[in-house]
């Protein structure tokens, strides 16, 4: 049984059909890229999987259970977590404080007026663990708003990891980054998938990244599935070449 299954999923907004007849299966441990031109339906697809609105057609199952009508909060509890194109962190707090809030919330401690010494130690240990995973230890006591865009995205990933996601959806994780920041984020995505065993779907426009790390690639165009396959299959697909990649994209894919 596949980890995540979309069966003939579609979404209408009034007369506008944003997605139509989307069927795909994601296996546990997979690193899947979702690509396509602007307006192809990539973010809408993420919104359906993460429960921000339900599909108007078709069904979605996660770990064998239907989630078509499950709200986002419950899906987070089940292990489906996403990031957005705009970084969501507390800019006026330090990196440590950002992670502490996330860890205390994940442990159910955020609404308590006080916590025990043992609980404080457990929180501190988890913060240290997350900082090590995302490799932000040297900046724990920096104010998040003073960090580079790339480091802020890394902090956001650390916050997300506090909830121990099973399925992580990343919407344009390297957008706006320089070369070094992009390499760091790409390495982090790969490590989270391979070392932390997190199944991941990511939307990305940089074809060098997509063809470099994705196990499989799903291509959307005008709200429909255009193609699906590994890097070699997608690069060789004439429909994808015509609709999306072009000469520049194929050069990055090589």
CATH class belonging to 1-79+199-254:
alpha beta
Q: What is the pLDDT of residues 125-134, one digit of tens each?
A: 999 999 999 9
Q: What is the pLDDT of residues 81-125, one digit of tens each?
A: 999 888 899 999 999 999 999 999 999 998 777 889 999 999 999
List of residues 6+ apart from 202 with CB closer than 8 A: 31, 32, 33, 34, 169, 170, 171, 173, 189, 214
Cα distance between residue 162 and residue 99, in whole Å:
8
Supply the pLDDT for residue 250.
41
| Contact by Cβ (8 Å): 222, 22 | no
Domain boundaries, the chain: 1-79+199-254
User: By three-state DSSP, how is residue 216 classified?
Assistant: strand
Residue 178 confidence (pLDDT) above 60: yes
What value does the mean pLDDT take over residues 184-207?
Answer: 96
């Amino acid at each position: 049984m596949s980890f995540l299954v979309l069966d003939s999923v579609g979404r209408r907004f009034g007369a506008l059909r944003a997605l139509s007849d989307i069927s795909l299966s994601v296996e546990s441990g997979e690193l899947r890229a979702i690509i396509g031109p602007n307006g192809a339906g990539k973010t809408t697809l993420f919104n359906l999987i993460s429960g921000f609105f339900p599909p108007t057609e078709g069904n979605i199952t996660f770990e064998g259970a239907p989630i078509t009508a499950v709200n986002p909060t419950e899906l987070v509890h089940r292990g489906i977590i996403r990031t957005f194109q705009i970084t969501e962190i507390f800019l006026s707090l330090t990196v440590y404080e950002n992670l502490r809030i996330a860890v205390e919330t994940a442990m159910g401690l955020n609404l308590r007026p006080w916590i025990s010494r043992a609980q404080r130690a457990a929180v501190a240990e988890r913060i240290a663990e997350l900082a090590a995973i995302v490799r932000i230890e040297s900046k724990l006591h920096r104010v998040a708003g003073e960090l580079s865009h790339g480091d802020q995205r890394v902090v956001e990933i650390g916050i997300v990891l506090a909830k121990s996601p099973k399925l992580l959806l990343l919407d344009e994780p390297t957008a706006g980054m320089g070369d070094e920041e992009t390499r760091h984020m790409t390495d982090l995505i790969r490590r989270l998938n391979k070392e932390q065993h997190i199944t991941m779907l990511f939307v990305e426009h940089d074809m060098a990244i997509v063809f470099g790390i994705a196990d499989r690639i799903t291509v959307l165009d005008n709200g429909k599935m255009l193609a699906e396959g590994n890097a070699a299959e997608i690069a060789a697909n004439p429909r994808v070449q015509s609709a999306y990649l072009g000469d520049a994209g194929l050069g990055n894919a090589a």
